[in-house]
Structure 1
């Protein structure tokens, strides 16, 4: 495993982070979920990303139980706040931030998280109120650093311009071979201000593994076949996308890589990316993905990937 520094923080995190969206809040059997976490540590992953809303707290509770007894300084723990936990509990007001960090810490069984992230931007709360509350969370020792997910460049800049508040050290955008929009503005702006990228959906909801074939029924055990887990996949499963992805197979084989490893290595080619979040339902997936760390792709290979995927790049619709 390779490691990178997260923005201007003193956090050193693995190039791959273990995520818990859809999986560790009840989407995967308990024994398998525990095995995935243990395998992550075995292969050198020290970065775990979750959110209060995953399984309505169940993912955090699971992690609190499975991490109990492990040296707290041996891993970096990140969670998020914004999405509804109930009809009256949502957003980034000061009251919500303070309420939700306390609830997250209780579920996680820890006194602090290393990174507390705004899961989205809250247009209904003044930004100064949000940033002041996050600053208080850090001052109280409940979080070491703060970050955000899916904020626009304008929103990021507005936060940077506020005086006397804690500065963000991380951004969490969706980013993959098929969805490259953060490269245009978010990556450069963040790089100029010491904000590292922790990217989600690097395998484009599993499409970049190559397991989905044009015109074919999705595998029975796949995300696309599960109505509870496939809500973001309509654009990704278009034939033009699936056909182009299949054309990546010879490139991966030429490097003796799995398709997933190729997709993750492509993400990590950009040093502005600190870590990429993987989701796994089986420990062997964790091990396979981890092998992408440290893989170098030549300029010629990157150009070939661009050529193959040119017809498939998502332009306007999020995965």
Structure 2
């Protein structure tokens, strides 16, 4: 299992997503993930059942010190109505997450959504208070544009505070037609160039594009309305065919190629995965060993027409 480090926190580059933990035996899958060398679990205050399950699992296994927890708060649709990217909501969600997770610190804490136009100063001051007091070890932004992250980090730098240390947006081989969920952000070319310029880690959700590269979907099959809405377009089907061709050349699957597209970037990345079976998990672990050249990345992403033999 490969790792990266964020503000002194060493995490596995594969993160176990838990948004759908209620759909399978969550503790069993967490056991399999840990046995495979995974250390990092992604959850959120909004995923109440998931946080409770993770807390119960860590207490039962006695492994809190070995695990890295990433949770998120201040979602716009989580509890109280109205604006929620503010100090009060951050504080409320963080304390409730700590209680559910049965821990006194969060390794990676991210704001789940942004509210563009909200002043960044009070937000960064609140997050820094929790950093200083040890309740969180690293702070990040989920579904913030790179321009807003830069704005927040500029404020932090000018005021002797620590800025965002990671971002969590969607980054995948299949590009989204529109946000999968309201308020979500995907990493476009400008975003990736910004990450390349400063080395800020990107922890991608839906790194495998909801299973687009599994072979379970086709242009003719439009039964899954969400997949059609978000991922069905001509360029993505071309990316799918190229992923299949490169997978055949390397003796792996198209899904593994899609995941390695995220992991083989010129800036630090992690991938949040949502395996339903041990086999799916191990396929993702094996994908970490696939190396893609810059030429292969460009070819997969339709940036070049030919791929050298």
Give yes or no for TM over 0.5: yes
TM-score range, shorter chain: 0.7 to 0.9
- What does residue range 290-301 of structure 1 map to in structure 2 within 5 Å? 290-301=285-296
Alignment TM-score, normalising by the size of structure 2 = 0.85
Is the Cα contact below 8 Å between 2:74 and 2:86 reproduced in 1? no
Change (3 A) 1:157 1:298: closer
The aligned runs of 1:164-179 (5 Å cut-off) are 164-179=160-175
The match for 1:12 is: 10
TM-score, normalised via structure 1 length: 0.82
Q: Distance in 2 between matches of 1:309 and 1:121?
A: 34
Verify the 8 A CA contact 1:212 1:242 in the aligned structure 2.
no
Structure 1 residue 20, shift from structure 2 partner: 1.4
Q: How does 1:235-274 map to 2 (within 5 A)?
A: 235-238=230-233, 241-242=236-237, 244-274=239-269
* Contact in 1 for aligned 2:240/2:254 (Cα 8 Å): no
User: Higher helix fraction: Structure 1 or Structure 2?
Assistant: 2
- Structure 1 stretches of 4+ with a deviation exceeding 6 A read none
The structural deviation recorded for 1:80 is 0.5
**Contact residue 142 and residue 169 of structure 2 kept, 8 A:** yes
What does residue range 63-82 of structure 1 map to in structure 2 within 5 Å? Answer: 63-68=54-59, 69-82=61-74
Q: Please report how far the alpha carbon of residue 169 of structure 1 lies from its aligned counterpart in structure 2 after TM superposition.
A: 1.0
The verdict on how the C-alpha distance between 1:139 and 1:86 changes in structure 2, with shifts beyond 3 A counting, is same
Which segments of 5 or more consecutive residues in structure 1 lack a partner in the other structure? Answer: 219-223, 225-229, 311-319
Task: For 2:258 and 2:298, locate their aligned partners in 1 and report how far apart those are by CA, in whole Å.
Answer: 14
Partner Cα separation in structure 1 for residue 296 and residue 261 of structure 2: 10
CA distance in 2, matches of 1:131, 1:300: 39
Structure 2: gaps of 5 or more residues = 177-185
Q: Structure 1 residue 263: deviation in Å?
A: 0.8
SS in 2 for 1:291: helix
How many residues are treated as equivalent by the alignment?
Answer: 291
Provide the alpha-carbon RMSD of the alignment: 2.5
Deviation at 1:184, TM superposition (A): 2.9
2:49 to 58, 61, 76: 58
